[in-house]
Amino acid sequence: MLALGCLFPVLLAIGGAMIGAMLGGNTGTLWGGIGGLALGCAVPAIMLFALGSARNKR
């Protein structure tokens, strides 16, 4: 699971760039890649925070 969390930013950036390219051309590729990278970094950070707080409440 840890390896999958480390790959999230890369996979979502590539996926966002591909979808952006299909929908919006060159500009869509850039925005899709940036959005995917931001989302890919935010999801593991939120999960780490949630798991840490759940562990402390126990």
Query: Token pair for residue 17?
Result: 């760039």
Residue 44 CB neighbours (<10 A): 16
* Between 52 and 3, the higher pLDDT residue: 52
Q: Which pLDDT tens digit goes with each residue over 13-46?
A: 999 999 999 998 889 999 999 999 999 889 888 9
What integer pLDDT is reported at residue 48 of this predicted model? 87
Burial of residue 3 (number of CB atoms within 10 Å: 0-12, 13-18, 19+):
exposed
What integer pLDDT is reported at residue 57 of this predicted model? 83
pLDDT at residue 1 is higher than 80:
no
pLDDT at residue 9 is higher than 90:
no
pTM for this entry: 0.76
